[in-house]
Structure 1
Amino acid sequence: MSEQQTIYDTKNIAELFQIHASTVRKYCDFLEKEGYQFHKNEYGHRGFFDDDVIVLRKLIDFKGTMALEKATKSVIAWKNGDDVSGVAIGKKQYSTEYSNLLDEFKTFQKQQHAFNQELLEQLKKQQGYIDTRLEERDQNLMIAMSQSLETQKQLAATKQKKWWKFWKQ
């Protein structure tokens, strides 16, 4: 082989699948009874390559829908490329689960789109309100500035008049 492959031990596989090491050994025994071969060292300890991990994952998945013996036979048939009713059932189950997930996602997507549209409308209303209020503020500010300027002009005019001519227009 030109590529280095990682070899996992039983403990690593147990941690990966969150099962006990004894369960991994049990699954391996069932697979070996059906003819599957795992790598073993001189002490008889199993070493698991990536392909073995995939086979064990399939076994765990199939075991959720059928008995362990039938699941083991289905995995071996899957590995050999054969079509077994258990594999077909597994594919059908995954297809159904996939369809259900896809339907859920489409529903969620529609809800999210509607929610986003509602948010956009609210943002447009809010922006319109802000623009209106800014325009009103600017107009009020201009009026206040005009009045202030007029008052300053009147004060300047009164300062130029003598105090006794204040009452004259």
Structure 2
Amino acid sequence: MLKKAGYHIHKNELGHRGFFKFEDFKEKQMKFNQKLLKQIQQRDEYISKKLENRHREFLDAVKGIQETQKFIAASEEKKKK
């Protein structure tokens, strides 16, 4: 009779039996999944932005080192002359 009404039997970790309506469970699970998916997407955006910034800072540092090396090489060349 309860199964026809959409209820299901459930046993918890202590072995106690209870009834729940699958549609209610499904709705709660969908809300949880959507919230979790949003959190994962926000985390992924945060990580992507941090990686982009780190990459840009790394390239800026490499360019700075290259410019310094060129300046040093030019200075040494002038000293030779």
- TM-score normalized by structure 1? 0.37
Q: Percent identity?
A: 35
Report the CA distance between 1:128 and its aligned residue.
0.8
Structure 2: distance between partners of 1:104 and 1:158: 81
Structure 2: distance between partners of 1:120 and 1:112: 12
- For residues 1-169 of structure 1, the aligned pairs below 5 Å read 95-96=1-2, 98=3, 99=5, 100-101=7-8, 104-162=21-79
Report the CA distance between 1:115 and its aligned residue.
0.6
Structure 2: distance between partners of 1:105 and 1:162: 84
Which 4+ stretches in 1 moved above 2 angstroms? Answer: none
SS at match of 1:161: helix
Q: Which amino acid aligns with 2:57?
A: N
Which deviations, in whole Å up to 9, do the C-alpha atoms of 1:3-25 show, x marking residues without a partner?
xxxxxxxxxxxxxxxxxxxxxxx
- TM-score normalized by structure 2? 0.73
SS at match of 1:119: helix
Larger Rg: 1
| Structure with more of its chain in strand, by fraction | 2
SS at match of 2:34: helix
Q: Between Structure 1 and Structure 2, how many residues are aligned?
A: 69
Q: Which amino acid aligns with 2:61?
A: A
